[in-house]
Amino acid sequence: MYLSRILRLSIFLYGLLHFVTFFVNNELLADLQALSGLLILLFAGINLTVKQFKLPLVLFLTGLITITLAGDSLFENLQDGLLQMSSIIGLLIVVPMIGWVLREEPYIEEIIGLAHRMLDTSRKFYFGMIFFTHIISYFLLFGAIPLMYRFVDDILKNQQGEAWENFKGTALLRAFALSTLWIISIPSFTFAVEALNASLWVTILQGFVVTVCAIAVAVIFSYFDEKRYGVDLTSEIKTEIDKVVSHSSNRKQQIRHTLEFAFLFITLFGSIFILYELISIPLMVLIPLVIIVWTSIYFTIKKSSAKLFRQTAEYYREGLISQGYQFSIMLAAGVMILGINQTGLGANFIEMIYSLQEIIPFFNMLYFLPFIVIILGFMALGPLTVMVLVAGILESISLPYPPELVVLSITSGSAISILLSPLIMPVIILSGTNGLSGYKNGIKFNLKYAIALYVMVQFYIQFVVYNL
């Protein structure tokens, strides 16, 4: 009981101090936030068995070892590592508030009731999941994964098992992975475009075309996955949609709720987009602040301020504890990432690949670049960290290829690492949401699709290269 209270309070303080220290640069508060992160790791571990806690434990110990071997100050680097993922944890603490609004009215049921014929087969439903996750990723980055999972789970709440988790998880993860190929609000994509001096519109256009093709391939893969599991997802989806439709109101009410949902969507994500253009606040800080204000305004207009208070109190008591394991993984991964960066291992590996390319001249560099990003992704380096390393080095090297192709090559590696690596945030977040292992959500479910994506992107790149 007391351990849970300390864990709950530690998560709350960590999230609160993340926002406070962004606006108030205070070393004491930063120290307190790092201490809160350490307490999250400690008490999340105490609440679980060693077997359940092995992933964050391995990540944390690996980080400590690499920091020690780097020879720098252990205390200072440990503190920096515990703060490495603060923006992600702050976002994920706040994102569930969107669900409070969506559950106030039967928005999902009414939208399904109005458009159920557009989602009444497994292929249509799969495409719908990819489409909406892709759009929301523009604003929420990988925060779209838990948001859309909860949305879809509200519809398919009676369907359990690996086949259904494969169906939901692959759609969400593939949708977000593909967003790194062309969406301007994805930091890794923006950094690559600027560092390599590529044409923004050409890069976005070619990434968009590749994404459209990759979505079509993803839908085809979902068909074969369904056959492999030997289940008829379409009949079950129709059954669940029929249940949703049976609880929906008349068409006029459906249209009203659909328009209200569209207004909520536009005001939330539109305000994020406008404010991001007008004020210089990082997206990962801006999004949760807008969500808090947006949710408060909604409940005020609905004259349900007391209900908002009850929801907040219940979330503090129950919701934060349920996310303790997920947050402990992120904190441990932050320590490990900092440790790897301290050793300079990533930069040394990139230089080794350049030497290898000189030995095998019939392969051009654009074949290799995705693998550099993928391997670094399996070393727990996130897409942005990897992009800073790779694009930063490429910036100082003259390559005989259009910079737009170089950007596509390295962003395709980023997309594949997101699909496969159990050590970076998208797979970690999905695993924390659906309860499956990182290996299963990543490599087992997506390896063949990742290979197909690599081949497809390289076919386009090499076709352009040899026709220059």
- Provide φ and ψ at 341, rounded to 5°: -60, -35
Q: How far apart are the first and last CA of the chain?
A: 67
Q: Check residue 419 and report its DSSP letter.
A: H
Q: Which positions ≥6 away from 257 have C-beta within 8 Å? A: 105, 106, 107, 110, 111, 249
Helix H, strand E, coil C: the string for 223-243 is HHHHHHHCCCHHHHHHHHHHH
Q: Which amino acid is at 151?
A: F
Backbone region of residue 303 per phi and psi (left: phi > 0; alpha: psi in -120 to 50; beta: other values):
left
383-395 vs 187-195: helix crossing angle, rounded to 10: 0
Q: How far apart are CA 144 and CA 142, in angstroms?
A: 5
Q: Check residue 121 and report its DSSP letter.
A: S
Whole-number pLDDT of residue 223: 92
Q: How far apart are CA 32 and CA 133, in angstroms?
A: 35
In degrees to the nearest 10, what's the CA dihedral of 441, 445, 446, 452?
180
Q: Which positions ≥6 away from 177 have C-beta within 8 Å? A: 415, 416, 418, 419, 426
CB 213 within 8 A of CB 459: no
What does the block give as tokens for 117? 């014929």
Whole-number pLDDT of residue 453: 97
Name which of 26, 15, 193, 156 is nearest 95 in CA terms: 15
Q: How far apart are CA 44 and CA 325, in angstroms?
A: 6
Q: Which amino acid is at 11?
A: I
CB 66 within 8 A of CB 336: yes
Whole-number pLDDT of residue 319: 82
Whole-number pLDDT of residue 252: 82
CB neighbour burial string for 74-91, b if at least 16 within 10 angstroms, e if fewer: eeebbbbbbbbbbbbbbb
Whole-number pLDDT of residue 55: 74
Q: How far apart are CA 393 and CA 404, in angstroms?
A: 16
Whole-number pLDDT of residue 16: 92
Q: Which amino acid is at 299?
A: F
Q: Which H/E stretch holds residue 221?
A: helix 200-229
Whole-number pLDDT of residue 19: 92
3-state secondary structure at position 463: helix
CB-side exposure of 311: number of CA atoms within 13 Å? Answer: 18
Whether the pTM exceeds 0.75: the reply is: no
Q: Check residue 141 and report its DSSP letter.
A: G
Q: How far apart are CA 302 and CA 311, in angstroms?
A: 15
Whole-number pLDDT of residue 395: 66
Distances (CA, A) of 54 to 9, 36, 57, 59, 340: 23, 21, 5, 9, 19
Whole-number pLDDT of residue 344: 66
Per-residue pLDDT of the chain (468 residues; tens, 9 = 90+): 677 888 899 999 999 999 999 998 888 999 999 999 999 998 888 877 777 787 788 888 888 888 888 767 778 888 888 888 787 788 778 877 877 887 787 776 677 677 777 777 889 989 988 987 887 776 667 777 887 887 788 777 767 778 888 999 999 999 999 999 988 767 778 778 777 888 777 888 999 999 999 999 999 999 999 889 888 888 888 887 777 666 666 778 878 888 888 888 788 878 877 887 788 887 678 878 988 999 999 999 988 888 899 999 999 888 888 788 878 877 887 787 777 777 766 556 556 656 766 777 666 778 888 998 898 888 877 776 677 667 766 766 667 788 999 999 999 999 999 999 988 888 888 888 888 888 999 999 999 999 999 999 999 998 998 887
Helices H, strands E: what count in the chain? 25, 0
Whole-number pLDDT of residue 361: 64
